[in-house]
């Protein structure tokens, strides 16, 4: 018997539990066998010859590979149905299944009502999922369990969304009070005029969340899509692979338009941005509805009173996202913080969510934009780099055309004036984006192959440097993302036509120290030597990557 050694363990090839001998003397006469000319004997002889051939080893190996692949696919299918690898579904300490490991009890999956004691000292939350809820007036009523030794029968919460620019009031009631078990028999359920049995997400767009492309994409749309993806207990790999059987997700999204009804849309295309958000969300879920005020959208709007839900999510899972780790600040606006393990779990999941959102954005681009745009997006531009200019009166690179010439890059003077489809095409196949810090960087989601991209994000001199776009780039797999800033004020200037620059101009004229906000909103002119430094850095890293 021959043994095959791999590292330290020793393995032997076996058939039906018995070691198969390796015949090395089959040509010697004493090793020959007498064979009878019968069909059975012939078959037995054929089998023996096959077994003695080297090819049979490869047949076995191939069979083993096929069997292993089949088992992996089966386990993966089971895991996809449950939302976690290989079908494992974590549970909370109470035995109730949770959406993501490590979430606090008040973020349960709606299978059981939360306990009022869980919210002791909590007044604001970024996200809340409720089992049974009634939308009445300007608040949501929902049941909660009460501990035996507790005297509390209700609790008020404010659920924040859209980077804290919108909020939803939630009142948790003792289950007996909610279901009408008290002596008076009153119950919020008596208010129900419309029932929604499907899982629902209540979202509240705001003027701030629609003020420009970056706020709409990063502060509002991405958190909303991420919430939908985490509600669906499906392995995120299937979303990244764009499995067509996943869509539409079995959810409904309810847009509460009351904030927009009061403030109106931002004048620079806010209505069009909200319509694009609605169309993208509608492409992912079964239905969308609108409640509150009629703000001129081409959709019917219903009264907010008397909507009853079996499973309702309020707020968004991914906010605030203006920090590197994008998790909840325990000292920010009365929100309770999350533990170290919850922070680690959220940060580990985020790159998958971002990648799923990037691919969902591409699918939406194919549906939203013309065939001409789709064809142009497939074509590689003549120059790999592009400088994105802006016509705004603040935070401009005033000689961006000269920088583009020095970097041998394409130059778009006013990127913000292009349609969203044209912006997507301009960025999709690029290997390098160069722009001032601003809304242009939300098009990191428009990159076709992020890991081959080298970016330069410019900041006004001596200003603070928010790292949210750098975090986005890193999590999307971008090769390099430089946060470039000059350390002198020689190229700093302000535009008298911009109201926010008036105070800054007075500070300069009086030789007073600049405020942090003035520095952050300042315009910039790069010197020749500084442009040469950027070219050297860009050339080195593009060639290396």
| String of DSSP letters for 471-486 | HHHHHHT-SEEEEEE-
533 CB-near residues (< 8 Å, 6+ apart): none
pLDDT at 75: 53
155 CB-near residues (< 8 Å, 6+ apart): 116, 119, 144, 171, 172
pLDDT at 272: 95
Q: Where are the domains of the chain?
A: 19-81, 108-365, 371-544
Is 0.85 surpassed by the pTM of this model? no
395 CB-near residues (< 8 Å, 6+ apart): 436, 437, 438, 460, 520, 521, 522, 523, 524
User: Domain 371-544 adopts which CATH fold?
Assistant: Rossmann fold (3.40.50)
| CA atoms lying within 13 Å on the CB side of residue 81 | 6
Per the CB < 8 A criterion, the answer to whether 217 and 205 are in contact is no
| CA atoms lying within 13 Å on the CB side of residue 64 | 7
pLDDT at 274: 96
Query: How far is 436 from 59, CA to CA, in rounded Å?
Result: 60
Residue 97 φ then ψ, to 5°: -65, 140
Name the residue with tokens 């007075």: 506
Query: How far is 492 from 497, CA to CA, in rounded Å?
Result: 16
Handedness of CA 9, 13, 18, 23 (dihedral sign): negative
Name the residue with tokens 């198969």: 20
Please report, for residues 124, 196, 323, 338, 420, the alpha-carbon distance to residue 331 in angstroms, rounded to integers and kept in the order given: 11, 36, 14, 11, 37
Low-confidence residues in the chain, pLDDT < 70 = 1-111, 181-185, 319-346, 543-545
| 26-38 confidence digits (pLDDT tens) | 323 332 222 333 4
Query: How far is 537 from 542, CA to CA, in rounded Å?
Result: 9
Burial 150-164 (b: 16+ CB within 10 A, else e): eeeeebebbbbbbbb
Query: Whole-angstrom distance between the N-terminal and C-terminal Cα of the chain?
Result: 52
373 CB-near residues (< 8 Å, 6+ apart): 365, 421, 422, 424, 425
33 CB-near residues (< 8 Å, 6+ apart): none
- H/E stretch holding 285: strand 285-291
| Both structure tokens of 221 | 């749309």
**Per-residue DSSP letter, 98:** -
Name the residue with tokens 């054929």: 46
Name the residue with tokens 């959406």: 99
| Both structure tokens of 263 | 């403030």
């Amino acid at each position: 018997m021959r043994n095959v050694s791999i590292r330290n363990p020793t393995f032997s090839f076996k058939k039906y539990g018995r070691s198969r001998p390796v015949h090395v003397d089959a040509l010697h006469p004493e090793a020959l066998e007498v064979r009878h000319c019968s069909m059975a004997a012939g078959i037995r002889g054929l089998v023996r010859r096959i077994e003695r051939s080297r090819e049979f080893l490869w047949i076995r190996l191939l069979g083993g590979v096929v069997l292993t692949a089949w088992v992996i696919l089966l386990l993966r299918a089971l895991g996809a149905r449950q939302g976690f690898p290989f079908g494992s579904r974590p549970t909370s300490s109470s035995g109730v299944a949770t959406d993501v490991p490590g979430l606090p009890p008040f973020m349960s999956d709606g299978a059981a009502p939360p306990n009022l004691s869980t919210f002791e000292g909590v007044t604001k939350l970024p996200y809340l999922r409720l089992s049974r809820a009634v939308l009445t007036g300007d608040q949501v009523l929902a049941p909660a369990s009460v501990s035996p030794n507790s005297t509390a029968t209700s609790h008020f919460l404010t659920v924040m969304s859209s980077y804290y620019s919108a909020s939803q009031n939630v009142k948790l009631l003792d289950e007996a009070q909610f279901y009408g078990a008290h002596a008076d028999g009153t119950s919020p359920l008596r208010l129900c005029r419309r029932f929604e049995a499907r899982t629902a997400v209540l979202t509240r767009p705001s003027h701030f969340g629609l003020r420009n492309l970056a706020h709409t994409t990063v502060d509002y749309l991405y958190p909303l899509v991420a919430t939908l993806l985490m509600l669906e207990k499906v392995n995120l790999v299937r979303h990244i692979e764009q499995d067509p059987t996943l869509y539409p997700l079995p959810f409904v999204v309810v847009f509460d338009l009351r904030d927009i009804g009061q403030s109106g849309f931002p004048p620079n295309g806010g209505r069009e941005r909200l319509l694009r958000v609605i169309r993208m969300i509608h492409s992912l879920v079964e239905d969308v509805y609108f409640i509150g005020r009629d703000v001129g959208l081409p959709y019917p709007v219903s009264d907010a009173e008397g909507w009853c839900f079996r499973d309702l999510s309020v707020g968004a899972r991914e906010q605030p996202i203006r920090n590197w780790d994008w998790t909840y600040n325990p000292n920010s606006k009365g929100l309770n913080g999350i533990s170290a393990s919850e922070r680690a779990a959220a940060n580990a999941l985020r790159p998958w969510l971002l990648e799923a959102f990037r691919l969902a954005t591409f699918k939406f681009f194919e549906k939203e934009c013309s065939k001409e745009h789709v064809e142009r997006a497939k074509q590689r531009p003549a120059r790999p780099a592009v400088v994105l200019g802006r016509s705004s009166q603040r935070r401009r690179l005033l000689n961006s055309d000269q920088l583009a010439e020095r970097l041998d890059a394409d130059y778009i003077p006013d990127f913000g004036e292009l349609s969203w489809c044209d912006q997507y095409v301009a960025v999709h196949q690029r290997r390098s984006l160069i722009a001032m810090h601003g809304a242009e960087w939300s098009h990191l989601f428009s990159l076709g192959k992020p890991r081959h991209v080298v970016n330069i994000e410019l900041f006004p001199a001596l200003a603070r440097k928010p790292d949210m776009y750098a975090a986005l780039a890193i999590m999307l797999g971008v090769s390099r993302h430089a946060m470039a800033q000059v350390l002198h004020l020689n190229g700093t200037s302000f535009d008298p036509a911009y109201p926010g620059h008036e105070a800054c101009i007075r500070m300069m004229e009086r030789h007073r120290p600049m405020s942090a906000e003035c520095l952050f909103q300042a315009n910039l002119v790069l010197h020749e030597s500084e442009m040469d430094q950027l070219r050297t850095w860009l050339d080195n890293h593009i060639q290396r990557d």
